[in-house]
Amino acid sequence: MSTLTPFHLAVPVDNLAVARDFYTKMFNLTEGRSTEHWIDYNFFGHQLVLHYQPKAESQKSNAKNVVDGKEVPVPHFGIILEWDVWHDLADKLTKKNIQFVIEPYLKFKGKVGEQATMFFYDPCGNALEFKSFKDMTQIFAK
């Protein structure tokens, strides 16, 4: 695989203080430039920006798509982690009593693209997915 360049993702949050507490404590993220209206984070080597906005319609929706028999929230964002890092995070989140929408499990078990995944919401209504592939060459496999 080639070296990936960092992505930039900006998401709305309706309470910057609550979002700051969640992203800092839940994931131990490093905060970068910030103002009273937005916060930059180093999100596993990528740039995640939380922008204060009143709750967006997409955050009020309960849209879901069925994938592997589970109701996956749409829209969502997240990151693909190394296998051991994903398991460490899943354990940490479980111990912190995160309310999972889809609890950590192995998706597409025994099939092409087998992956560990988990879904939950941040306190502002943004759905997150963290996933991992034991075999990283399977990320885009059909």
Asked whether residue 1 carries a pLDDT value surpassing 80, the answer given is no
139 and 103 co-located in one domain: yes
Please provide the average confidence, as pLDDT, over all residues in the chain: 92
Mean pLDDT on 39-64: 87
95 and 135 co-located in one domain: yes
46 and 72 co-located in one domain: no
pLDDT confidence of residue 102:
97
92 and 36 co-located in one domain: no
**Is residue 104 reached through a cis peptide bond, with omega within 30 degrees of 0 on the bond before it?**
no
37 and 69 co-located in one domain: no
Asked whether residue 36 carries a pLDDT value surpassing 80, the answer given is yes
90-107: per-residue pLDDT in tens? Answer: 999 999 999 999 999 999
What CA–CA distances, in Å, run from 47 to 82, 102, 119? 18, 25, 20
35 and 2 co-located in one domain: yes
Say how many domains are in the chain: 2
70 and 135 co-located in one domain: yes
Question: Which CATH number does the domain housing residue 18 bear?
Answer: 3.10.180.10
pLDDT confidence of residue 60:
67
Q: Which domain holds residue 24?
A: 1-54
Locus of tokens 């009593």: 97
72 and 141 co-located in one domain: yes
49 and 73 co-located in one domain: no
First to last CA, the chain: 17
Residue 59 falls inside a structural domain: no
What DSSP line would sit under 36-94, residue for residue? SSEEEEEETTEEEEEEE-SPPHHHH---EEEETTEEEESS-EEEE--HHHHHHHHHHHH
Mean pLDDT on 113-119: 95
Residue 109 falls inside a structural domain: yes
48 and 72 co-located in one domain: no
70 and 96 co-located in one domain: yes
